[in-house]
Amino acid sequence: MEVPKKLVNSVSGCADDALAGLVACNPGLQLLQGHRVALRADLVAIRGRVALLSGGGSGHEPAHAGYIGKGMLTGVVAGAVFTSPAVGSILAAIRAVTQAGAAGTLLIVKNYTGDRLNFGLALERARAEGADVRMVVVGDDSAFATLKKAGRRGLCGTVLIHKVAGALAEAGASLDEIVEKVSAAAKGLGTLGLSLSPCSVPGSKPTFQLADDEMELGLGIHGEAGVRRMKMLTADEAVEMMLAHMTDPSNASHLPLSPGASVVLVVNNLGGLSCLELGIVAGAAVRCLERRGISIARALVGSFMTALEMAGVSLTLMLVEEELVGLIDANTTAMAWPNLATAPATSQRQELAAPKEGAGTEQHETSSGPGAARVQRVLALVCSTLLGLQDRLNELDRQAGDGDCGHTHARAARAIQEWVRARPPPAAPAQLLSALADLLLEKMGGSSGVLYGLFLTAAARPLLRSTDLPAWADAMDAGIEAMQRYGGAAPGDRTMLDSLCAAAQALHPLRSPGADLLPVLTTAVQSAEAAAEATKHMEAGAGRASYISSARLLQPDPGAVAVAAVLRAVLEGLRS
């Protein structure tokens, strides 16, 4: 197992650099000289109010320094990566807020042995100096069926405690009142994590290993072991399993959750999960809770307490009533707290009805007869050709794009097949091309879908006036002109246009009296195939491939290959 790459200046200085970078970009923060401590820049504003300090090891960003601000934390003490902060620095932070005139200091600490010891010792020393200091330890982990001697680990639910305590302090609550209310709120907290990959401390190997088809339930935010490994599940299945585990009465660390309860939901990215996956998990969590009869008073989705680059997610639930919801909604200037909507989360949002087609929109009428049968035969060949080319187009696209050209064209082929099965396509050329344009714009996706849609939409116009052979040559030219106008590419740019333009040039003889379609079309197809092959020697001038060195582009352009293959299929369909 190799040591993963990290974008840092040095292993030893990465925690200091990260905190300094955050402060540099946030005028509301300041560093405490000689310590890895960040404080509000407006400490004068806390005079007469309770100061809130938190912290722990680095590597959980944006926790904890991202939650410094009016309405949340007064300051944060950061340790090295996954390491409890030094007692001297914690004490220095307490002294700083005490000297600023704070009406007492509350330490909000995650339940880890090192954090409890170091913050606890700093508290005792500060009290010996006459400071009024209290400590609340947050343990919200719902993973373990049997409680450990060390208690429940402190996880992402701690961020909600920061918010509740911060809103109370900003409102002028006393230290005793804040301790009482946040302690009560912490009892209604549950968090459970799920990981798809390990994390790694800078300069070290990953903390654990997971097979490609495995996921782990209930692990800690430092890569500590969870309670179960299992084969990969879908997002819906994983969320259902997580919530069932969190609320199972046989689980000693469960969160009691009954129908009719109201909760704040936090869907937390553990560091390396994509935003796309996070949104899927969030939707699944909302639906699952709704099925259980749970009201989701507020939902937070994002990165709140991470574990470096771990690809995973945690779900946090906090039981709430009206007062707690108000404290969650209270204003804060903390940069990592989201711009939270003050409304419940629900999967039952009303959808806006799609606008109806205007009176001038053409309706695509179906037809039958020899012409319709010929259209269906051609379309069937085009679809089978594209489906057969899927892997090759993907492989060609991996050299210069995102490797999905084959998937995109296969998606178009399957959409056309479903469309033809549902209703006979129009035999009238203009209606056929317009209908195909609408279909591909809706179903194909990517820039290819738009380009084909442009081509077919523009090509349909000349065929409204006439369907003779010269009109087909005009249609080809009109489609290409539209693609060039909006797409910005030109022949020689190593795109699908190279095949199209070669074919269009070869179709010009259709404008001559007595032209024979099949021989001219055969020549056009051969020209398109030759042009597609020639793109392997071109330097890309448009599309994603234009950002890649021509020395690395050793194969033909996948879009050009696809166009040539479609034209070949059309020719074979007409011949048969």
Residues recognised as catalytic: 222
Q: Which of 315, 279, 278, 274 is nearest to 296 (CA)?
A: 315
Q: Left (φ > 0), alpha (ψ -120 to 50) or beta: where does 152 sit?
A: beta
User: Max alpha carbon distance in the chain (Å)?
Assistant: 107
d(CA 448, CA 539): 20
DSSP 274: -
Beta strands in 283-438 (DSSP E): 295-302, 312-319
Question: Which strands form 262-269's sheet, in the order they lie side by side?
Answer: 228-231, 214-217, 189-195, 312-319, 262-269, 295-302
Q: Are 246 and 281 in contact (CB under 8 A)?
A: no
Query: How many CB atoms within 10 Å of residue 369?
Result: 9
**Measured on CA atoms in the order 304, 308, 311, 316, is the torsion positive or negative?**
negative
User: What gap in Å lies between CA 366 and CA 358, rounded to an integer?
Assistant: 20
Spatial strand order in the sheet of 75-81: 29-31, 37-40, 75-81, 51-58, 105-110, 133-138
Q: How far apart are CA 134 and CA 153, in angstroms?
A: 20
Angle formed at CA 534 by CA 531 and CA 536, multiple of 5 degrees: 135
**Residue of 278, 223, 186 lying closest to 60 (CA atoms):** 223
**Pairwise CA distance, residues 413 & 419, whole Å:** 10
Round to whole Å and give the CA distance between 217 and 245. Answer: 10
Contact 235, 277 (CB under 8 A): yes
CA atoms within 13 A on the CB side of 392: 14
Give the tokens for residue 376.
Answer: 């269906």
Helix (H, G, I), strand (E, B) or coil at 557: coil
Are 525 and 564 within 8 A, CB to CB? yes
Contact 221, 58 (CB under 8 A): no
Cis peptide before 254 (omega within 30 of 0): no
d(CA 533, CA 536): 6
Q: Number of H helices and number of E strands within the chain?
A: 17, 12
First to last CA, the chain: 58
CA 286 to chain centre: 17
